Chains A and B, each alone.
Chain A
Amino acid sequence: AQKVTQAQTEISVVEKEDVTLDCVYETRDTTYYLFWYKQPPSGELVFLIRRNSFDEQNEISGRYSWNFQKSTSSFNFTITASQVVDSAVYFCALIKNYGGSQGNLIFGKGTKLSVKP
């Protein structure tokens, strides 16, 4: 069975602190994709990143970085120098990459990040 675990329910930091959001996944598939989405207080889902299972290179996009480690089945997300605008719920998700997946994203329960000024 597939599963995504985000063990941190809520995290609170002060602006300019670095923060890492953990994501651990379970799958028996060798080919799959991992995603991170941001859900700000307004409620929409904002796509942040997609990573396929064959690409373990870390990715950096501005203040955001992602660390994908297949050996530990983890896909962690780090925000450097956090800002108040980063306050949101962040979801990690998993999808199988073969014909039968039908786009069924498996979501974690999310981590609520609060960045205080």
Chain B
Amino acid sequence: NAGVTQTPKFRILKIGQSMTLQCAQDMNHNYMYWYRQDPGMGLKLIYYSVGAGITDKGEVPNGYNVSRSTTEDFPLRLELAAPSQTSVYFCASSNDRSGGNTIYFGEGSWLTVV
């Protein structure tokens, strides 16, 4: 069971560089999410998607972009990386947006912007 797979696990970026965090799920879930976790804090929602071709902003979307061309993949794009984007990023998926079913998380991607 692969579940939710994120790559890369670790990355160091220079200020102003761009990169894409990849996320794939093999559970045929319609709903996918990107969260960030800052040190000593809980997770905050960046973007979410309710299905292929549909995305929307979460609580902290500035500096990020997403796309959802397939049910399986939900990449997160960082444009012009800034030190404030140093964080741990978690991708998640579920088959029910109401919370009635478990939300499955990936293992996280540690990003440092220097």
Tell me whether A and B are bound partners: yes
Question: In the complex, how many residue pairs between chain A and chain B have their CB atoms under 8 Å apart?
Answer: 80
Q: How far is the CA of A95 from the CA of B100 in the complex (A)?
A: 9
A50 near B102 with CB under 8 A, answer yes
Q: How far is the CA of A52 from the CA of B108 in the complex (A)?
A: 27
The size class of the interface chain B forms with chain A is 20 to 34
Closest chain-A Cβ to B20's Cβ sits at a distance in Å of 20
Q: Which of A13-21, A59-67, A70-78, A101-109 contacts B (4 or more CB under 8 A)?
A: A101-109
Residues of B within 8 A of A (CB): 31, 33, 35, 40-45, 48, 50, 56, 58-59, 88, 90, 92, 94, 97-100, 102-108, 110
Chosen A-B contacts, 23 in total, with CB atoms closer than 8 Å, are A33-B98, A33-B99, A37-B105, A43-B108, A45-B105, A45-B108, A47-B103, A47-B105, A50-B99, A50-B102, A91-B43, A96-B98, A101-B97, A101-B99, A102-B56, A103-B33, A103-B48, A103-B97, A103-B99, A105-B35, A105-B43, A105-B45, A107-B42
